[in-house]
Amino acid sequence: MMKRLLGAAAALVLAGSVAGVAHAADKLKVGFIYLGPIGDLGWTYQHELGRQALVKELGDKIETTYLENVPEGPDSERAIEQLVRAGNKLIFTTSFGYMDPTLKVAKKYPNVHFEHSTGYKRDKNMSTYSGRWYQGRYIQGQIAAKMSKVGVLGYIGSFPIPEVVSGINATMLGAQSVNPNIKVKIIWVNTWFDPGKEADAAKALLDQGADIIMQHTDSPAAMQVAAERGKLAFGQDSEMIKFGPKAQLTSILDTWGPYYIARVKAELDGTWKSEDTWGGLDSKMFEMAPYTNMPDDVKKMAEETQAAITSGKLHPFKCPVIGQDGKEVECKGGDHLADGQILGMNFYVKGVDDKLPGK
Amino acid sequence: MLLVEAIILSVLAASTPLLLAATGELVTERAGVLNLGVEGMMIVGAACGFAGAWMSGSIIIGALCGIVAGMLMSVIFAFMTLGLAVNQVATGLALTILGIGLSGLIGARFVGERITTAPKLAIRGLTDIPLVGRILFGEDAFVYLSLALIVAVWWFLYRTRAGLVLRACGDNHVSAHALGYPVLRIRLLAVLFGGGCAGLAGAYLPLAYTPFFIPGMTAGRGWIALALVVFASWRPGRLVIGAYLFGAVTILQLHAQGAGVGIPSQFMSALPYLATVIVLVLLSRARTGGSTAPAALGTVFVPDR
């Protein structure tokens, strides 16, 4: 509680100082709300790179502001509103937990446009945007199954929300396509960012016999632990090879820049409208880091899978998808699961030996 | 290496920053000063500790930089609360906000850099003893230093005259003042000690735990240290129990999840807090029947001249 209060206080202090310097009235003001510090080398860092790309492209027409370390939940509402009051006309809120606060502020200020990342609630002046990272996870699952000597993968989860659950499922489906008997150990750390705890989770997974580390948390701590122990790992959100030159197999790189530039251009042209963007490998919403520390045949397989997914030939959730209970999941998207089923995924696929928290 | 051994080694590492920071805060509070800025002092210690180690290539210099940085932060606190008699709670909170910002500024240059971690001890003959060798003699030096420190603090508080005077300042500063003890000077030293410990605790994170610096990497450990002091009812022995219990349950719940125990992970994540609070509250009720907070804790003292 104390920490959250403080975060909010810090956000308000920041917002206050930012509002003080913003005065060039004729430029479009674009605001960003960040979950972590911009130097987290993961999620927030990638959004910051996107913002920098935006400034590089349109810097003469816009003025950008960001608030970092804004806690999710009700506290963020004040931070978002601060950006509105400071005159920002287009505001990107870059974490799932900002969904309801963003919606609330959007209803209050119909003339301001909002863009919420990774959520599913929209309004006339509120868009959503996200990446189909499960595509990348499928590729990682295949690589992991090939590279694991013992057939046990270690997976560090943040929160059991659909995005993370669909990532685990896609990983397992990919892995099972290579080795049907592959096993995964899952540890939920219930935080997006706590390097110490992420490292502890990685150590626990390795101590329990997993030999590949996959993570859905934001810091390079797990990669570093894998490197120290001479094991392999996948980066998350950004390039983490610096922390495991001999450990990183690949990493899903979020590349927000092109999207931010396109949306701001639309705002400048007056053509902005509320949309739902869910970009995959084909749209360059994310990229795969170079495939490293693996033999050529595994690399070739990964590249072929990537090409097949990009061209639409392969869908990670192609039917039939068998649930953890052994029953076939209803196939609402033709020959693969519908987007809605993936976005709201709250079940494990067969072969995941874990109980979904809260189920 | 056995799984039990691996778990205990992880627990030692996870508990050490908590124990270090809490030790410092315990002394500060025993002198009657409530410094809520532990998180801020820790994160600045982490940034400066990493910076020092990165530039010098020496873990020891890094640790010293962390200690000095924590002390400098506590000097700000001491100036405000002891010198100007400002409210301690507000100043402590401000110190944390300042620390989080300052550490980002200091550390920005070092984000993405790496160092080699503090070496694990290797004493011939001792570290090789099966089962206990790695645990008793095979972790990094900070782990054993933190234990030595809390023993020293216990001895100081309960077995020396100076410790008695310090506790007197915390329980009744007016009487201590009337007896001729320099209350403010004693409190200044206690605050400095607390700052140094918090700085070292922060520096432990990038120097030994995860060998890189990222803003916000303390992730609330300073607040846990603060809470530990209260739940240990300001006693060194219970503080050790609390810190290690918290570390142990944190690590064990991760292992339980990995082994697929099937208890909701949200509950597991709350478990370290629950277990520590329950055990320490039971301990303090069993022995003394209530809280033993220093009577003058958090109150401002302005000597009449």
- Compute the nearest-CA separation of A358 from chain B (Å): 6
Q: What confidence category does residue B286 fall into, taking pLDDT thresholds of 50, 70 and 90? A: low
Is any Cβ of chain A less than 8 angstroms from the Cβ of B100? yes
Beta-carbon separation of A3 and B223 below 8 A: yes
pLDDT of residue A16: 39
**What pLDDT sits at residue B288?**
60
Query: Over the Cα atoms of chain A, what is R_g?
Result: 20
Q: Is the predicted pLDDT of residue A13 greater than 70, yes or no?
A: no
H or E stretch including A113? strand A113-117
Domain B2-286 has CATH 3.30.460: no
Residue range B90-117: mean pLDDT, rounded: 90
pLDDT at B69 over 70: yes
Q: Is A323 helix (H, G, I), strand (E, B) or coil?
A: strand
pLDDT one-digit tens code per residue, B141-153: 999 999 999 999 9
Contact B254 A6 (CB under 8 A): no
Q: Tokens for B125, please give them.
A: 């003959």
- What span, in angstroms and rounded, lies between the C-alpha atoms of A195 and B221? 12
What Cα–Cα distance (Å) separates residue B72 from each residue in A236, B3, B29, B194, B195?
36, 41, 18, 11, 8
Q: Who contacts A130 (Cβ-Cβ below 8 Å, separation ≥6)? A: A117, A118, A119, A163, A277, A278, A279, A285
In tens, the pLDDT along B174-215 reads 999 999 999 999 999 999 999 999 999 999 999 999 999 988
User: Which of A39-53, A203-217, B271-285 bottoms out in mean pLDDT, i.e. has the lowest?
Assistant: B271-285
- Contact assignment for B268 to A188 by CB distance below 8 Å: yes
Q: How far is CA A155 from CA A89, A167, A218, A304, B18, in A?
A: 40, 10, 13, 24, 27
How close are the terminal C-alpha atoms of chain B, in Å?
64
To probe the interface with A, which of B102, B210, B230 has the most A CB atoms within 10 Å? B210
Q: Which two tokens stand for residue A77?
A: 């509402």
Q: What is the pLDDT of residue A39?
A: 80
Indicate the pLDDT class of residue B293, thresholds 50, 70 and 90: confident
Name the β-bridge partners of A349.
Answer: A323
Contact A42, A238 (CB under 8 A): yes
- In the numeric block, the tokens 């320099």 are attached to B182
Q: What pLDDT is attached to residue B279?
A: 84
Overall average pLDDT of the A293-319 stretch = 96
Lowest mean pLDDT among B71-85, B179-193, B244-258: B244-258
Contact B88, B33 (CB under 8 A): yes
Long-range contacts of A225-231 (CB under 8 A, 24+ apart): A225/A199, A225/B210, A226/A202, A228/B117, A231/A206
> What share of residues in chain A are helix, strand, coil (percent, to 5)?
45, 20, 40
Q: Predicted confidence band at A261 (pLDDT cuts at 50, 70, 90)?
A: very high
C-beta atoms surrounding B182 within 10 Å: 14
Q: Which of A157, A208, A220, A162 is nearest to A183 (CA)?
A: A208
Chain centre distance of CA A212: 20
pLDDT computed for residue A2 by the predictor: 42
Give the residue among A154, A280, A269, A268 at the shortest CA–CA distance from A216: A154
Task: State residue A93's pLDDT score.
Answer: 97
- In a mutagenesis test of the A interface, which of B8, B15, B117, B257 is the best target, namely the one with the most A β-carbons within 10 Å? B257
The DSSP output letter for A334 is S
Please give the pLDDT value at position B112. Answer: 80
pLDDT at residue B133, as a whole number: 81
More confident call, B103 vs B125: B103
In the predicted model, is pLDDT for residue B302 greater than 70? yes
Question: Residue A3 — pLDDT band, cuts 50, 70, 90?
Answer: very low
CB-nearest partner of A2 from B6, B223, B266: B223
Specify the pLDDT at position B146. 96
Residues of B with CB below 8 A from A210's CB?
258
Out of A190, A195, A357, closest to residue B210 by CB: A195
Q: Which residues of A198-226 are buried (b: 16+ CB within 10 A; e: fewer)?
A: bbbbbbbbbbbebbbbbbbbbbbbbbbbb
Name the residue of chain A whose CA is nearest to B260's CA.
A354
Name the β-bridge partners of A129. Answer: A117, A277
pLDDT over 60 at A87, yes or no: yes
Q: Where are the domains of chain B?
A: 2-286
Residue found by looking up tokens 């076939």 in the block: A328
Of B156-170, B237-251, B287-301, least confident by mean pLDDT is B287-301
Residue written as token pair 């970092």: A68
- The reply to whether residue B205 touches residue A37, judged by beta carbons under 8 angstroms, is no
Given B107, B117, B205, which is nearest A196 (Cβ)?
Answer: B205
Indicate whether B303 pLDDT > 70. Answer: yes
How does residue B305 score in pLDDT terms, banded at 50, 70 and 90? low
Q: Is the per-residue pLDDT at A102 higher than 80? A: yes
Which one is predicted more confidently, B280 or B300? B300
Q: Find the farthest-apart pair of alpha carbons in chain B and give their distance in angstroms, rounded.
A: 66
Instruction: Tell me whether 0.85 is exceeded by the ipTM.
Output: yes
CB burial string B261-282: b at 16+ within 10 A, e below: eeebbeebbebbeebbbebbee
Query: Contact A305/A314 with Cβ under 8 angstroms?
Result: yes
> Under an 8 A CB cutoff, do A39 and B108 touch?
yes
Q: Quickly tell me which residue has 């506290």 as its tokens.
A: A75
Q: Name the residue among A13, A37, A225 with its Cβ closest to that of B97.
A: A13
